[in-house]
Amino acid sequence: MRWRLAWPDTRIPLLRATVIFLALLCMLAALASLLTVLLPHSRFAVLGVPLFTAFAHGLWKLRRAARIAGIVVLVLALLITVFGGLGSLMESTTLSKAEVLAWMSPFAAVEMFCLYVLDKYKSEFK
């Protein structure tokens, strides 16, 4: 018997790679939530484990609700990246504008790319 890995059910390689990337990020977030439970005063971190694993499973199965939740999460992450970077620029006197933009830009670019792919191939989600 040969083991077959069940990739996301799409013929579009870009969408498949994006979904795999986002699902892996969700599983890393679930693992981080699980490890946070071990710290004192973190009772509600255990709620992140089923939330992130369900989100990763929904993305992997190309569910429409997971796509919408992914878009919401990516937009929030983009806003946090941009405004967090600008906030650190206003507070910090040691970082130059170029240094803050150099740290901020790759994350914002990846988030916008994932948003673009999820929006372009929305017909693939069931």
Please indicate, yes or no, whether the overall pTM of this predicted structure exceeds 0.75: yes
Arithmetic mean of pLDDT, 36-55: 86
In contact, 28 and 36? CB cutoff 8 Å: no
Greater pLDDT, 44 or 120:
120
Backbone conformation region of residue 62, classed left if phi is above 0, alpha if psi is from -120 to 50, else beta: left
pLDDT band at 45 (very low <50, low <70, confident <90, very high): confident
Least confident of 37-41, 53-57, 69-73, 110-114: 37-41
Tens digits of residue pLDDT in 102-124: 888 899 999 999 999 999 999 99
Six-digit token pair at 2?
Answer: 């040969």
Closest CA to 27 of 12, 48, 47, 42: 48
Please state at what angle helix 97-120 crosses helix 64-91, rounded to 10 degrees. Answer: 170
Compute the half-sphere exposure of residue 25: CA atoms within 13 Å on the CB side of its CA: 14
pLDDT at residue 39, rounded to an integer: 82
Number of residues assigned to the chain = 126
Sequence spans of domains, the chain: 13-124
Tens digits of residue pLDDT in 67-95: 999 999 999 999 988 887 777 766 766 77
* 3-class secondary-structure state, position 126: coil
Is the pLDDT at 61 greater than 60? The verdict is yes
The count of other CB atoms within 10 Å of the CB of residue 45 is: 16
